[in-house]
Amino acid sequence: MFTSFMGIGGVTLVSFITGPLVQNGRDRQLIASAPGNATLERHLGHNYPMLMWWFGGLPVSSPGYEAAYLIMCYWLVLMYICTNVPDAYYVGLINYISAQLRLLHVALRQIAHPDPDDTLAEKLAHTYQLAVKGGSPHKDGAQDASRDSVYARLVECIRFHQEIIKCVDEMESLLSLTVLIQFFTSTLVICLTAITVINTEAAYLPTYAAYLATMFYQLFIYCWYGGEVYLESESLQFSAYSCNWPYTDARFRKTLKICLARMQRPISLTACKFYKLSRETFLLLLNGSYSYFTLLLQMNQKND
């Protein structure tokens, strides 16, 4: 996922940098085919990677044009690093939390499973309601030790769950506002880029299409892995219930009830409590981008 995300961003970066160079070659052919034509545009053959405000206007003569072009390429590389790398890092942290929840699933299922030597005897006693009479003190002491060990494993899983909850709370306090800004800006950028794709020249279509795919992917990875955390947390109840609790004592079952009550509230990452990171949120954001897109498109058509 990280490689594909960085790869799409890299394709977009290369398209922005090399696209104007290809267009410059086509413009030079046009200029050569019509020498002395005064109606040709001033910037023909001097295209830039992106639109940028420049004091006095963007230069079109050497060496000012080449210097401005290199400055824009430098800023594009910085933008690529400053946007894609933090996103990949944040999503890596979210995926780490999801992995910890998967480990908790495994630990919960294995809490109260008996040792292989005692499995057959306990199954027979439970199925046929057989009671073991005259147990030796050594056997009784071993059973007490086993119950304490099972209860200790449950307490360890509860503490592990609490640490995951604490980690999610700390992570949300750090990333919540950043993710909210990311959602709003990406939704707006997707809308404006789609408008640009409709009105732009054919030579720039691959560049803007790659940029649009990058924006889609940027929203997708947050919502996908945030949804994974929610789904893994939501299914913790089933793993805890599958821990072979009928063979445990009253103390274990009472503690397990409290644990199940807490697990009824799944862990989720949000964007300042406005959006929950989930796959449904991704569809909601795309729907919002499409609504803004259709609104701007209708406004442009009325103006035309």
Is the residue at 172 inside a domain? yes
Task: Choose the most confident range, by mean pLDDT, from 83-87, 133-137, 237-241.
Answer: 237-241
Of residues 212, 219, 236, 216, the one with CA closest to residue 278: 219
- The continuous run of DSSP H or E covering 4 comes out as helix 2-33
User: Which residue range is the domain that position 113 belongs to?
Assistant: 84-303
Integer Cα distance of 219 and 206 in angstroms: 20
The percentage of residues in the chain with a pLDDT greater than 70, rounded to a whole number, is 79
DSSP output for 104-170: HHHHHHTSSPPPHHHHHHHHHHHHHT----S--HHHHHHHHHHHHHHHHHHHHHHHHHHHHHHHHHH
Judge whether 210 and 235 are in contact, CB under 8 Å.
no
| Choice among 108-117, 219-228, 286-295 with the minimum mean pLDDT | 108-117
Judge whether 121 and 135 are in contact, CB under 8 Å.
no
Is the residue at 91 inside a domain? yes
Is the residue at 283 inside a domain? yes
Is the residue at 38 inside a domain? no
Q: Is the peptide bond before 63 cis (omega within 30 degrees of 0)?
A: yes
Quote the number of domains for the chain: 1
Tell me what the mean pLDDT of segment 165-189 comes to.
Answer: 86
Burial class of residue 76 in the structure, from the number of CB atoms within 10 Å of its CB (0-12 exposed, 13-18 middle, 19+ buried): middle
Judge whether 278 and 230 are in contact, CB under 8 Å.
yes
Hey, is 275 helix, strand or coil?
A: strand
Report how far apart, in Å, the C-alpha atoms of 270 and of each of 101, 177, 216, 293 are: 18, 9, 19, 25
Confidence of residue 54 (pLDDT cuts 50, 70, 90): low
Tell me what the mean pLDDT of segment 159-174 comes to.
Answer: 90
Integer Cα distance of 68 and 64 in angstroms: 6
Is the residue at 288 inside a domain? yes
The model's pTM is 0.71
Q: What is the pLDDT of residue 138?
A: 44
Is the residue at 51 inside a domain? no
Is the residue at 22 inside a domain? no
Of residues 24, 20, 22, 16, the one with CA closest to residue 75: 16
Q: What is the pLDDT of residue 150?
A: 85
Tell me what the mean pLDDT of segment 175-185 comes to.
Answer: 85
Tokens 């893994």 identify what position? 232
- DSSP structure class, residue 202: G
Judge whether 147 and 248 are in contact, CB under 8 Å.
yes
Tell me what the mean pLDDT of segment 178-204 comes to.
Answer: 78
Is the residue at 113 inside a domain? yes
